[in-house]
Amino acid sequence: MSILSTKAMIKPQEYMAMQGKTVLVIGVGGYCQRFIWDVYKEFGIKIVLVDPDNKNSAISKVNSFIEYDFLSQKTEQEHAVCIIKILKEKGVTIDGCVTFIDTCGPLAATICHQQNLHGTGIQAAFVAKNKGTTYDVLRTKEQTNQFIVKYNQINTISGLENAFSYVGVPAVMKPENGSCGAGVKRITDFRELKVTYENEALTHGKKFTLMEFIEGTQHGIELILFQRELIASFVTDYGPTRKDRFTETTATMPSCLSKGAVEELMTAAHKCCIGIGLVDGVFNVEMKMTSNGPKLIEMNARMPSFYIRDWVLTCYGIDLLLYTFMTCLGIRPEITKPVSTHRIMGITCVPSVHKEQLLKSQTVDIFNDMDQRGIISYHQLSNSLEECENDGDEIPFCSLAVIDQDIQKTKDKLLNVWNSIGFKTDSYDIKYFLKDF
């Protein structure tokens, strides 16, 4: 994305207001967030990066780097004091602070609070970090309790029976912290719950939430908020996952739902953001649309990862990264109601099904070449196949998407691409994964 297109996207006074501002970024983030360290320069800002790893790839691309272990056993308040002290010793004044990592949300919010900067809101950052706490807060509020299904938090094996008795089956057990479906398991009986909890606790700790399994279509809602006001929002549709797995398979933007249903999701997501106290920033809310309206899956008090930033940019000409930085600097975005100009639809490749094809050295080269020629929009989401697999969990290795105008044309184009690359297999039923689009 060029500086010219950035200037075309925002009003001149907004662009000028960002020039020369310094933003503190907590944590380098993952492989699929590496674009940040190249793109931010187009906004005219400076970045000070704080991270424990003094060998991370972003160091050479940011204006200043501070090696600091915020993972050590201190409170967020103590870490914030230490980081602010280092900044003062270096003579650095920051104009904003942000993170792109779930676990760093409370620390970034604490620094914003201590420095009187715009941000997610300190209460909201601590609430959003834990799924059960998020449900607890929203269940007590009149504006949001209709979006919460039955759930129960589990902290020890002795709590399983009460949780199972209250929630019933089918249910979903998920770690209190986590993303990308890691550690999320479907539960059909008490014995399965007990065995699953004992196994997953070894990897994800003892804190889980057991929640009612929600029937319906799944959606991601991205929201830009400033002083709690909804500036803009975007809805992505996700296809069904494989049996007993929760890893993403397919997605499309804009949503295929009716205008009324899309508005309902946007309103529900905004109410949930306000409900936990989110103030300024770009946030991600995952919901299912059911016969009884939207139901919350989870919330992320940060900009979405994977390919969503590029998809929103392609469909709407709106850069979520730009508005993440703008809102943290206290600049209110001026966005007219976004209208999509394209449709994008994609399929993810996962190691448990596509490892043999993905291990071939030429596969990624072919995908990159197809991307360069405009045949697909390719996003590699992990640095290696090994990074995608961890103790029985997996995240997608990459996403292959196509762009067109019409839903059926886009779907047909995607199926043609999928069949042409030789990834077709009975264990990964693409037509089923695309059935809701």
List C-alpha distances in Å: 356 to 243, 391, 417: 21, 19, 18
- pLDDT by residue (tens digit) across 178-236? 766 678 899 999 999 999 999 888 888 889 999 999 999 999 999 999 999 999 999 99
Question: What size, in residues, is the chain?
Answer: 437
* Angle in degrees, CA 313, 318, 320, rounded to 5: 85
- pLDDT by residue (tens digit) across 153-176? 999 999 999 999 999 999 999 998
CA distance 192 to 132: 21
pLDDT band with cut points at 50, 70 and 90 for residue 11: confident
Mean pLDDT of the chain: 92
- pLDDT by residue (tens digit) across 60-104? 999 999 999 999 889 999 999 999 999 999 999 999 999 999 999
Q: Is the pLDDT of residue 384 over 80?
A: yes
